[in-house]
Amino acid sequence: MENSEIGSSGVIRKRSRRRVVTVTMVAAAVLAASACGSSSKSSSSTNPTTAPTSGTSPTTLNITPASFTSDFSAMAQLKSLVAKGKGLIGVLLPDTTTSARYETFDRPYLTKAFKAAGLSSADFKVDNAQGSASTMQTQAEADITKGASVLLVDALDSGSGAAIEASAKAKGVATIDYDRLVKGGASDRTYVSFNNVTVGQLIGKGEVSCISAWNVKKPNILIMDGDPTDNNASLFAQGYNGVLKPYFDDKTYVKVGEPAGTWTPSIAATTFTQQYTAHPNINAVVTPNDDNANAVIAQLQTLKIAAKTFPTTGQDASISGLQNILKGYQCGTVYKPIYLEAQAAAAAAIYLRAGEKVSSSLINGTTKDTQANTDVPSILLTPTWVTTANMAATVVKDAAVKVPELCITAVASACAAAGIK
Ligand code: GAL
Same domain, yes or no: 211 and 323: yes
- Backbone region of residue 131 per phi and psi (left: phi > 0; alpha: psi in -120 to 50; beta: other values): left
Quote the ligand 1 centre to 46 CA distance (angstroms): 29
- d(CA 84, CA 324) in angstroms, rounded, equals 48
The H-or-E segment that residue 235 falls in is: helix 231-249
DSSP-derived 3-state class of residue 124: strand
CATH number at residue 78: 3.40.50.2300
Residues 297, 256 share a domain: yes
Quick one: pLDDT at residue 130?
A: 98
Length of the chain: 421
Question: From the CA of 227, how far away is ligand 1's center (Å)?
Answer: 9
Q: 389 CA distance to ligand 1 centroid (A)?
A: 24
Give residue 70's domain range.
51-195+337-381
Point out the ligand 1 atom lying closest to the alpha carbon of residue 154: 7
Q: What is the DSSP letter of 315?
A: B
Burial of 325: CB neighbours in 10 Å, binned 0-12, 13-18, 19+: buried
Strand-strand pairing, 254-257 and 333-335: unpaired
Residue whose CA lies nearest to ligand 1 atom number 3: 316
> How many whole angstroms separate alpha carbon 307 and alpha carbon 258?
24
Q: Does residue 315 sit in the same domain as residue 329?
A: yes
Residue having the nearest C-alpha atom to atom 9 of ligand 1: 316
178 lies in the same domain as 285: no
- How does DSSP classify residue 15? H
How many Å is the maximal CA-CA distance in the chain? 80
Is the pLDDT assigned to residue 249 strictly greater than 90? yes
181 and 254 part of one domain:
no
Distance 391 CA to ligand 1 centre (A): 20
> Is residue 42 situated within a structural domain?
no
Residues 258 and 15: their CA atoms lie apart, in Å, by 40
Q: Could you give the number of structural domains in the chain?
A: 2
SS3 for 65? helix
Closest ligand 1 atom, CA of 199?
A: 8
CB burial string 199-227: b at 16+ within 10 A, e below: bbbbbbbbbbebbeebebeebbbbbbbbb
**Is 10 a domain residue?**
no
Question: Considering only 37-41, 113-117, 216-220, which range has the smallest mean pLDDT?
Answer: 37-41
Q: Is residue 80 part of a domain?
A: yes
Of residues 89 and 14, more confidently modeled: 89
Q: DSSP of 1-12, one letter per residue? A: -TT-BGGGHHHH
Strand duo 374-381 + 384-386: pairing: unpaired
Q: Best substitution site from 96, 227, 315, 367 to test ligand 1's pocket, by max atoms within 8 Å of Cβ?
A: 315
Pocket test for ligand 1, best of 177, 230, 384 (most atoms within 8 A of CB): 230
Asked if 190 and 206 sit in the same domain, the reply is no
Q: How far is the CA of 168 from the centre of ligand 1 (A)?
A: 24
Pocket test for ligand 1, best of 232, 264, 340 (most atoms within 8 A of CB): 232
Considering the domain boundaries, does residue 373 fall inside one?
yes
Asked whether residue 267 is assigned to any structural domain, the reply reads: yes
169 with 277, same domain: the answer is no
**In a mutational test of the pocket of ligand 1, which residue from 290, 316, 318 has the highest number of ligand atoms less than 8 Å from its CB?**
316
User: Are residues 210 and 160 both part of a single domain?
Assistant: no
Q: What is the pLDDT of residue 12?
A: 32
Phi, psi dihedral angles at 383 (to 5 degrees): -85, 165
pLDDT band at 196 (very low <50, low <70, confident <90, very high): very high
Atom of ligand 1 nearest to the CA of 180: 7
- 101 CA: nearest ligand 1 atom: 10
pLDDT at 74 over 60: yes
Beta strand 384-386 pairing with 174-178: unpaired
Nearest alpha carbon, ligand 1 atom 10: 99
Q: Are residues 264 and 284 in the same domain?
A: yes
Q: Tell me the mean pLDDT in the region 376-394.
A: 98
Q: Give first-to-last CA distance, the chain, whole Å.
A: 42
Give the mean model confidence (pLDDT) for residues 69-97: 97
Tell the burial category of 402 from Cβ atoms under 10 Å away from its Cβ (0-12, 13-18, 19+).
exposed
Burial class (CB in 10 A: 0-12, 13-18, 19+), 54: exposed
pLDDT at 152 over 50: yes
Phi-psi region of 154 (alpha: psi -120 to 50; beta: other; left: phi over 0): beta
Nearest partner of 161 among 129, 133, 189, 139, judged by Cα: 133
Secondary structure class of 127 (helix, strand, coil):
strand
58 pLDDT band, cuts 50/70/90, is low
Residue 46 pLDDT > 90, yes or no? no
Helix axes 290-302, 265-278, angle to 10 degrees: 50
Pocket test for ligand 1, best of 99, 105, 182, 333 (most atoms within 8 A of CB): 99
CA distances from 50 to 21, 47, 260 (A): 22, 6, 41
Residue 16 pLDDT more than 80?
Answer: no
Q: Are residues 56 and 188 in the same domain?
A: yes
Residue 41 belongs to what H/E stretch? helix 28-46
Residue 48 above 90 pLDDT?
Answer: no
* pLDDT exceeds 50 at position 93: yes
Give the distance (Å) from ligand 1 centre to CA of residue 99.
7
If you measure from the C-alpha of residue 243 to the centroid of ligand 1, how many angstroms do you get, rounded to a whole number? Answer: 20
CA of 129 to the centre of ligand 1 (A): 15
Question: Distance, CA 321 to ligand 1 centroid (Å)?
Answer: 14
**Which residues form the pocket of ligand 1, taking CB atoms under 6 Å from any ligand atom?**
98-99, 101, 179-180, 226, 230, 232, 263, 289, 315-316
Asked whether the beta carbons of 321 and 333 are under 8 A apart, the reply is yes
Is a pLDDT exceeding 50 seen at residue 414?
Answer: yes
Which atom of ligand 1 lies closest to the CA of 232?
7
Q: Is residue 9 part of a domain?
A: no
56 confidence band (pLDDT: 50, 70, 90): low
Which ranges constitute the DSSP H helices of 66-214?
79-84, 101, 107-116, 133-145, 158-170, 196-213
For CA atoms 201, 179, 366, 238, the dihedral sign is positive
Residue 22 located in a structural domain: no
- Which value, in Å, is the radius of gyration of the alpha carbons in the chain? 23
Of 37-41, 336-340, 361-365, 414-418, which gets the smallest average pLDDT?
A: 37-41
Helix axes 158-170, 133-145, angle to 10 degrees: 10
Q: What is the pLDDT of residue 162?
A: 98
Q: What is the mean pLDDT of residues 244-250?
A: 98
Same domain, 267 and 313: yes
Asked if residue 66 belongs to a domain, the reply is yes
Query: Vertex 244, ends 226 and 288: CA angle to 5°?
Result: 20
Q: Specify the pLDDT at position 61.
A: 84
User: What pLDDT is recorded for position 33?
Assistant: 32
Q: What is the mean pLDDT of residues 302-330?
A: 98
pLDDT at 406 over 50: yes
Are 138 and 271 found together in one domain? no
User: Sign of torsion, CA 228 230 236 242?
Assistant: positive
Q: Is 199 within 8 Å of 388 (Cβ atoms)?
A: no
